[in-house]
Amino acid sequence: METKAKHKSPKGTAAPLQISGAEAVIRCLLAEDANLIYGYPGGAIMPIYDEIYKFQDQLHHVLTRHEQGATHAAQGYARTSGKVGVAMATSGPGATNLVTGIADAQIDSTPMVCITGQVASHLLGSDAFQETDIIGISTPVTKWNYQITKASEIPEIMAKAFYIARSGRPGPVLIDITKDAQFELFDFTYEKCVGIRSYQPYPKLVNESLEQAVQLIGEAKKPFIVWGQGVILGQAEQEFKAFLEKSGIPAAWTILGLSALPTAHPSNRGMVGMHGNYAPNLLTNECDLLIAIGMRFDDRVTGDLRTYAKQAKIIHLELDPAEVNKNVKADVSLLSDCKISLQALTDKIETKSYPEWIKRFDDLDAIENEKVIDGDLHPTKPGLTMGESVEMINKHSKGDAVIVTDVGQHQMVACRYAKFTQSKSNVTSGGLGTMGFALPAAIGAKMGAPSREVVAVIGDGGYQMTIQELGTIFQQQVAVKIVILNNDFLGMVRQWQQLFFDKRYASTEMTNPDFVAIAKGYYIEADRVDNREDLDQAVAKMMASDKPYFLEICVEKEDNVFPMIPTGASVSDIRLE
């Protein structure tokens, strides 16, 4: 990528100031409206932290309990606020502890800027104390990275970092700054980056492709839409809704696309993928036209690519050219911001309806309701289910809460059953599947949307990977609601062991601590419920609190998540039991 950038001076730019590189970093952050950062200090980044102290009236730094927690919190903040999240760490282990969150942000297209300290430039390559090649390590999982060795580089590189992180398909950027560059004085001026030669983040819609897409939509008898997070990232929710209502086409979502359309909208037919709904999965292989919007045909969605939608024409609305024809060949690709391409399609298509095709969805929904959903939400067995626990949260949140999930059975159940009325309400680790994501991500999600209720739904396994972030919640008094669905197992792995490994539960049963006592040790109000009669009151009490709150719900130990498509199987092989 070219390093030379076009810049635009903000109004009222002052004459150059001679300041240190460390102060320059803070002034760059403030110029980018990045006044909330998550991090953990250390020797190689201490000059920047000294400036944070001096600018604390303008900049809010959140001390997480682990650098991984800083990245996940920055992700949660970005996902609910729509802004760039910022995480900061020192060199060596501090920097490497960021990598999991950076990789998560890369695959889930989350805008984030990570700033790491580095040993002095004359020590680079000498295996100095706490030196690691974080540029080499992070290159595969960043949208862009750069090592600064001169203070004078800081303004331009920081401006580029924020522009690259937020533009086009968003992603994480890492800037590594040597300690001597942080101390060095230079004449500081700042100009925001508005473009980079050779980097074209927004392809221009091709009219010929648009006309071809319109023709395919007009000819289709059984069209189907699968949408992903691109609708949310493109701020195209209203354009998407208008397209659905004019086209009359049924639509289903990937887990990162969830909440772009209200759950109750009549065109919303549920979730596709391994634990998605019965109808949209089966009918993927019956539709005659598949319109993919802002999604990347992940293997968890497609199953066996050799059998995926082979009977259908494919229209792919996508911003990133690398995703087109990567997994599924498109007959027509609309390379553009989907806010633009959806509006263009809506203007040209005719208003239609597909009553017989819609009835096919309804009939399959009835089968799933009878065989799976009724038992999940209205169980007759004595033990609590994950499904009824999520449904109780729906009752008290009325669909207005942000739901943050970790990874595992609880994640699939929450995505299947959570109700949403507005966008940016589902925060989860999709592509990387990072256990430990939810607790710190909920901190950032609440700080990114302080007026909204934020409920973290977490399994007992993933919770213990970042349980130390209870300290961050206590210190910052972030009013998140933490719900642990405790089955004393690594539930998703256990389910696979039950179904495909003859119930050989190798290293998946957990002997758990007293979670309520731990939460209370962090001065967080906490409760436990293990029977159906107490669930409603317990959730109501949690939701009524205006402070951080912890609720442990003890659920069935061997409760499975269905439907399920076995790994590598066709979407047509979806199992209901």
H or E element in which residue 6 lies? strand 5-8
Alpha-carbon span 152 to 412, nearest angstrom? 48
Half-sphere exposure of 510 (CA within 13 A, CB side): 20
3-class state of residue 553 by DSSP = strand
> What local confidence, expressed as pLDDT, does residue 464 receive?
97
The span from the CA of 76 to the CA of 438, in Å, is: 9
Clarify whether 318 is annotated catalytic.
no
pLDDT digits (tens, 9 = 90+) for 53-87: 999 999 999 999 999 999 999 999 999 999 999 99
Tell me the one-letter amino acid at 323: E
Q: Which residue's entry shows tokens 């890369």?
A: 106
Question: Which one of 55, 130, 235, 510 is the catalytic residue?
Answer: 130
The ranges assigned to domains in the chain are 2-191, 207-360, 382-554
Alpha carbon 112 to its chain's center: 12
pTM higher than the cut 0.85? yes
Cα→Cα distances 189→8, 20, 145, 207, Å: 12, 12, 22, 42
For residues 51 and 59, give the distance between their C-alpha atoms in angstroms, rounded to a whole number.
Answer: 10
- Catalytic pick among 112, 271, 435, 492: 492
CA torsion, ordered 11, 17, 23, 28, to nearest 10 deg: 20
Looking at domain 207-360, what is its CATH homologous superfamily? TPP-binding domain (3.40.50.1220)
> Would you give the DSSP letter of residue 510?
-
Distances (CA, A) of 339 to 207, 208, 209: 15, 18, 16
The b/e string for 174-208 (b: 16+ C-beta within 10 A; e otherwise) is bbbbbbbbbebebebebbbbeebeeeebebebeee
Residue 313 in tokens: 């024409």
Q: Give the strand order in the sheet containing 402-405.
A: 426-427, 402-405, 454-459, 481-486, 549-554, 525-529
In the chain, which stretches have pLDDT less than 70?
A: 1-15
The pLDDT of residue 17 is 84
**Distances from the Cα of 564 to the Cαs of 96, 515, 552, 575, in angstroms?**
35, 30, 26, 5
Catalytic residue among 83, 160, 179, 424: 179
Residue linked to tokens 């992180």: 165
Whose structure tokens read 């959903």? 373
Q: What are phi and psi of 528, to 5 degrees?
A: -135, 140
d(CA 570, CA 557): 29
Q: Spell out the CATH class of 2-191.
A: alpha beta
For residue range 170-209, list pLDDT tens digits in order. Answer: 999 999 999 999 999 999 999 999 999 999 999 999 999 9
| Phi, psi of 162, rounded to the nearest 5 degrees | -70, -40
Judge whether 55 counts as a catalytic residue. no
In degrees, to the nearest 5, what angle opens at C-alpha 119 toward C-alphas 113 and 124? 105
Q: Given this chain, do its domains 2-191 and 382-554 carry the same CATH topology? A: yes
Residue 14: per-residue pLDDT: 57
> What CATH number matches the domain at 382-554, 3.40.190.10, 3.40.50.970, 3.40.640.10, 3.30.360.10?
3.40.50.970
Options 67, 153, 318, 552, the catalytic residue: 67
**Known catalytic membership, residue 130:** yes
Report the distance separating Cα 332 and Cα 485, nearest Å.
43
CA proximity to 301, closest of 226, 353, 385, 202:
226
Q: At what angle do helices 532-544 and 386-397 cross, to 10 degrees?
A: 40
**Beta-carbon count within 10 A of 400 CB:** 12
DSSP β-ladder status, 481-486 and 454-459: parallel
Q: How far is CA 572 from CA 227, 288, 576, in A?
A: 19, 15, 12
CA distances for 68 relative to 74, 145, 377, angstroms: 10, 18, 35
The DSSP secondary structure of 402-446, one letter per residue, reads EEEE-SSHHHHHHHHH---SSSS-EE---SS--TT-HHHHHHHHH
Round to whole Å and give the CA distance between 194 and 6.
6
Residue type, 505: Y
Start-end of H helices in 108-235:
134-138, 154-166, 179-183, 207-219, 230-233
Check: CB of residue 117 under 8 Å from CB of residue 91.
Answer: yes
46: closest CA among 187, 183, 173, 159?
183
As a whole number of angstroms, the distance between CA 289 and CA 309 comes to 9
CA distance 571 to 577: 15
329 to each of 116, 258, 296, 313, how far by Cα in Å?
Answer: 40, 24, 11, 9
User: Phi and psi (nearest 5°) for 216?
Assistant: -65, -40
